Structure 1
């Protein structure tokens, strides 16, 4: 899950979590994996149950500058962060990087709210460096989270048949996020990684049967 089972290991690892209630236990589990591989946590930030962590290899510490973090809360009354986003940015070897962990508005019919959530994060999060004042001023931005975009225009039994036949490509034709990106309504200039696995959420309790909702949990990075 952490992407550190490859050789060589990545120099930088970003980890975003949502709906995390026992954050200390989660961090300790992560640390037990990362520390023996000589990763160092340079920053963590949370917006209630939304968390973002940035780890780098120890040898890179002298090359890292201008570490900052930001958050956006748009949950109940715009105050409680049950929905929102937190971010970390820094400069490494002259390259500006940012990473975002987000949890957007749920339910199929709230597509416009999810698009507005995305726009609110871009508009609301600013940093001290005048040359890298917003998220999209950075050279690289990595966005991950429970974005809550769903499949739309597809009946549950149709979706289940596509999942059973592992026809992910066809299933994605009904994906709200994919359509929003193609229409340039959200995540303009971002590129989503190839999706090769079936939906991981949500199952009816105690079964392997899918609930009628499909939540996107995919990482996105810019061109």
Structure 2
């Protein structure tokens, strides 16, 4: 996912991975349940984990190399975090890094009733100029019949508080957070992105779905997309506060690894749009593109989006004058 604050090359690049390690590897998943976490800083990047395994480190180094060699401007890794199979890396233009502060992250486990990190979310928030941004990389409950659990996972992730957020009081009543929040929760932030393997499926028989895909009849198939149905019919779905650019690409799950063929195993799963990007920020966020592309190293196809985001800078002196003027007019109104 790329985010452009100004016109031109994106100022912020966000990479979110799911199932970066095999989730059926019992030695890995057991460690994730019992190991404590510690924080460290390296070359300006915030890294939160019990350790960076060789696999995570290899991905991080490869991303760093790719960003450095394929883009005309220099970028710096400003955040990296992992939890079992989830992995998030955030890069920012070096020329813009002086605008970012107060980067905080949180790992939310939703597997096994919140005990296991095989499912859940990684949230990172930052303040750029005087606007607050939050990026949530998620992996929700799997299975054709897991709609209610996926809905619950979203609620759990969005309600979880950031740890070590006591200094949020420095930003309170300064127009940086929204809805009366103090930045402790994800929804307190002015601009939010919620993305990843959401695992919502399509309520159609496999052959019907395959035929629709072959005919590029995506609109017909989207009518049976579980997430789309929940957004329309479930007023309690927390993701209704977010938006998604219309889907114009084929379902991203499930492929035979190394091919463009949908699941030919004995399970013969129905193709689905499991991988999605949602955003919240009103008119401040304008999606420019949203598409998937063929990378055959996984049973999923990666999805990317480019977004233009409007940020703000507050003049504290003028804001104080306006605030005093508002109080004065309110007192005059009450005195009438």
TM score, norm. by length of structure 1: 0.91
Q: 8 Å contact 2:18–2:87 — kept in the other structure?
A: yes
Q: Show the counterpart of 1:143.
A: 194
Q: Which runs of 5+ in 2 are unaligned?
A: 22-54, 170-181, 264-268, 283-336
Task: Kindly indicate whether residue 219 of structure 2 is the aligned counterpart of residue 169 of structure 1.
Answer: yes
Contact 1:16 1:51 in 2 (8 A): yes
Q: Which runs of 5 or more residues in structure 1 are unaligned?
A: none
Matches within 5 A, 1:22-101: 22-36=55-69, 37-76=73-112, 78-101=114-137
Pairing 1:218–2:276 present: yes
SS of aligned partner of 2:117: coil
In structure 1, what is the Cα distance between the partners aligned to 2:131 and 2:3?
22
Distance 1:121 1:77 in 2: 12
CA distance in 1, matches of 2:260, 2:241: 36
| In the alignment, structure 1 residue 198 sits paired with structure 2 residue 250 | yes
Residues in 2 aligned to 1:142 and 1:65: alpha-carbon distance in whole angstroms: 18
Q: Secondary structure at the match of 2:276?
A: coil
TM-score, structure 2 length as denominator?
Answer: 0.61
Q: Decide which of 125, 135, 143 is 2:161's aligned counterpart.
A: 125
Post-superposition shift, 1:200?
2.4
Would the aligned equivalents of 1:180 and 1:186 in 2 still touch at CA under 8 Å? no
Distance 1:92 1:221 in 2: 17
Task: Tell me the distance in 1 between the aligned counterparts of 2:260 and 2:8.
Answer: 36
Compared with structure 1, are the counterparts of its residues 3 and 121 closer, same or farther at alpha carbon in structure 2 (3 Å cutoff)?
Answer: closer
| Distance in 2 (alpha carbons) for counterparts of 1:98 and 1:48 | 21
- With over 3 angstroms needed to count, the CA separation of the structure-2 counterparts of 1:204 and 1:35, relative to structure 1, is closer
SS at match of 2:199: coil
Kept after mapping to 2: 8 A contact 1:70/1:126:
yes
For 1:94 and 1:33, locate their aligned partners in 2 and report how far apart those are by CA, in whole Å: 30
Alignment counterpart, residue 134 of structure 1, candidates 185, 195, 198: 185
Aligned to 1:18: 18
Please give the secondary structure, in 2, of the residue aligned with 1:220.
Answer: strand
The Cα of 1:186 is off from its aligned counterpart by 3.5
4+ residue stretches of structure 1 with deviation over 6 A? 1-4
1:180 counterpart residue number: 230
8 Å contact kept, 1:103–1:148: yes
CA shift, 1:179, in A, is 1.4
Cα distance in 2 for partners of 1:216, 1:66 equals 32
Q: Which moved more, 1:55-64 or 1:21-30?
A: 21-30
Q: 2 CA distance for matches of 1:167 and 1:116?
A: 31
SS of 2:243 mapped into structure 1: strand
Contact 1:67-1:90 at 8 Å conserved across structures: yes
Are the aligned partners of 2:202 and 2:226 in contact in 1 as well (CA < 8 Å)?
yes
